[in-house]
Amino acid sequence: MTSPEVFADAVAASCEAALSRVGARVERFSIGAMSIKLVAPCDEARPWIGRAFLPSPVPAAEAPDREHCLAIWDGTRPESLPPPRPWGPTAHEPLGVIAEYSTGTVRCAFDIHTSSLVVRHDRLNASYVWVPKLADLPAWALASPMRVPLSWLANAHGMQVVHAAAVAMGGRAVLLAGAGGSGKSTTALACAMAGMAYLGDDYCVVEPGMNMVHLLYRTAKLFQASLDMLPKARAWLCNPRRATEEKGVIFFDSSQVSVVPSAPLAAIVLPRLASGERTRISRASRREAIAALLPSTIGGLMGGTAATPGLILKAISGVPIYHLMLGTDLASITDTIRAVSEAQS
């Protein structure tokens, strides 16, 4: 057994022991046909980390081995700590992945933004995350939890987590791609509040082989400018007092917007802020779609995996791509997205 596997076994044992002491809640969610069992502590002192996911029914009893276990624990007391990391203090630089401890069956990383250890263990069909204190995680981290191990898992199943938003109309999804501040969140939430189905705001999952978009998180993270355009959303914020210092965060329920798990990909739209009230649209190139999706996705996922570029290239092939010059009139934005979706029927 290799050193990475020995370390991964020790992490699994530490997680199991810690969760047995504090008690764990189990909840299931899915990404496409992939079933995931989330195991995490939940008590008065800790937020429920699974709030961002859309729960799914218990998987079929005849295929429990296909279910991936995603477990998280916290604690800084000696009995709650993970095993000592057998690598140097800078081994995670520059992206976070520990190359020496990322083999064909184990993958390890350290996230400096949340001081968390991330380990994937293929032999156990499980991923493990340790954070010092769940209660100290900022709202933005709770809104998109464990996206790195989920992105690794998605890649293993021919899917790709992408830095993009998505909405659907008539069962056809429009993927909204662009850098932070380009208008993805404003567009996605405006469309959802106008009655379209919601598939995610900051990260979602594409499955090129099936030409599908899947929901990852039923959350939204909004800059102040977006909240100014969508004042109704202020009542939904979980962090209203901090919305001027960090992004405002929303955890959606069915009374607010229609959240759906999946929809076929019909088009890709590249929003950007423009002058004037009316929203305008024009055709964009595949190269421009790559530029909008690939760098920010890789940057947000610790470099992704070797499969990431190919999956993104495959996802954008064969679908129309548009520039969306966003005006200040919300009805113009939603009407344009609706027209894009209907044009692909």
pLDDT at 179 over 90: no
- β-bridge mates for residue 164, sequence order: 177
Q: What is the mean pLDDT of residues 118-133?
A: 98
Quote the pLDDT of residue 65.
61
- Cα gap 337→330, rounded to integer Å: 11
Quote the pLDDT of residue 175.
97
- β-bridge mates for residue 268, sequence order: 175, 321
In CATH terms, is domain 160-343 a member of 3.40.50? yes
- Cα gap 320→333, rounded to integer Å: 18
Calculate the CA 72 to chain-centre distance.
16
Q: pTM here?
A: 0.95
pLDDT at 101 over 80: yes
Q: Strand 25-31 vs strand 34-40: parallel, antiparallel, or unpaired?
A: antiparallel
Residues 38-85: tens digit of each pLDDT: 999 988 889 999 999 999 876 555 555 689 999 999 999 999 999 999
* Band of residue 27 on the pLDDT scale cut at 50, 70, 90: very high
- β-bridge mates for residue 162, sequence order: 204
Q: Does the bond joining 94 to the residue before it have cis omega, within 30 degrees of 0?
A: yes
Quote the pLDDT of residue 66.
80
Residues 239-275: tens digit of each pLDDT: 998 877 788 999 999 899 999 999 999 999 999 988 8
Quote the pLDDT of residue 64.
56
Q: Return the domain boundaries, the chain.
A: 3-137, 160-343
Q: Higher-confidence residue: 341 or 198?
A: 198
* Band of residue 135 on the pLDDT scale cut at 50, 70, 90: very high
